[in-house]
Structure formats: C-alpha cells, structure tokens
C-alpha cells in the first residue's frame, strides 16, 4: 500500500496503490488528510459515513467529498478509516480528533475532488488510482 504526489499544474494529483479495493480507498483517504492536515493526527472520535454511487470511481469521489464535508462541518481531522465496500456501497468508520489550529494548520485546503481522469485500474498486483484534489 502506498501513495505519492504527482506533478500537476494547479491542483494536487495523487497516485495510490493497494492490494484490495478497501485498502485503496483507505490510502486515498489517508493522502487527502495528510495533504490537508499533515501527519499529526490521532483517532479518539469515531464518525460513520455511508455512501451509495453508480460506479466505483463515483463511489471514491463521493466518499472523499463526504469526508471533506464531515471534516469541515464538524471541525474534525481524521487519522484513519476502516472501510467496507460491497458493490457500489461503502461504509466507513472514520477515526479522528477535533481540529486544533496549532497542530493541524500546516496543510493545504482542499476544496473538492475532481472526476477528471479518475479511473481505478485492477491487475494481478492489486488496485491503482490517480486522483486530483482541487485546491
């Protein structure tokens, strides 16, 4: 499992790889939180998110959009997620803490998740996705 930042003109582009679809979604989630808040995050509060979408790429974008919403509205910084995907349905247990400016202000504000070029691929090594975070 891994993710890396790729070169992009104006936004932040991430490539993530993982052996399973659940792990792939978790990697992209972790990348999003790291871009926004850095690595100083703990998981003492749990939030549950459920998402249904038309296809697997939409499921990823919709899930990350829900994470952005929950983070913004509830003032939460999430450290990790336990994700279960069945078909085009996702349930995620997000573990995190309340936003603290002195601890979490070192990142980049992400305004949305782009569908541009969003394709999840699968081969013998697992799953991979390139995804753009709109900043």
3-class SS of residue 12: strand
Q: What is the pLDDT of residues 101-131, one digit of tens each?
A: 999 887 899 999 999 989 999 999 999 999 9
What CATH number does residue 83 fall under?
Answer: 3.55.10.10
- Which pLDDT value is given to residue 52? 98
Query: What is the pTM assigned to this prediction?
Result: 0.93
3-class SS of residue 14: strand
Range list of β-strands (E), the chain: 2-6, 12-18, 45-52, 76-86, 89-98, 112-123, 126-134
User: Do the bridges between strand 45-52 and strand 12-18 make them parallel or antiparallel, or are there none, so unpaired?
Assistant: unpaired
> In 3D, which of 36, 20, 19, 17 has the Cα closest to residue 28?
17
At residue 50's C-alpha, the angle toward residues 25 and 128, to 5°, is 15
- Which pLDDT value is given to residue 3? 78
Structural tokens at position 115: 């569908």
Q: What is the pLDDT of residues 37-75, one digit of tens each?
A: 988 888 899 999 999 999 999 999 999 999 999 999 999
Parent domain of 19: 2-101+109-134
Q: How many domains does the chain have?
A: 1
- Tokens 């790429």 identify what position? 57
């Amino acid at each position: 499992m891994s993710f890396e930042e790729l070169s992009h003109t104006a936004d932040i582009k991430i490539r993530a790889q993982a052996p399973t679809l659940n792990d792939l979604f978790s990697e992209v989630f972790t990348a999003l939180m790291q871009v926004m808040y850095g690595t100083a995050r703990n998981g003492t509060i749990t939030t549950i998110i459920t998402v249904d979408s038309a296809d697997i790429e939409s499921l990823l974008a919709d899930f990350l959009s829900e994470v952005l919403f929950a983070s913004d509205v509830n003032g939460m910084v999430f450290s990790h997620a336990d994700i279960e995907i069945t078909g085009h349905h996702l349930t995620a247990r997000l573990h995190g803490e309340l936003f603290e400016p002195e601890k979490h202000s070192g990142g980049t504000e992400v305004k949305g998740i782009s569908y541009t070029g969003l394709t999840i691929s699968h081969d013998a090594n697992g799953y991979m996705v390139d995804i753009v975070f709109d900043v």
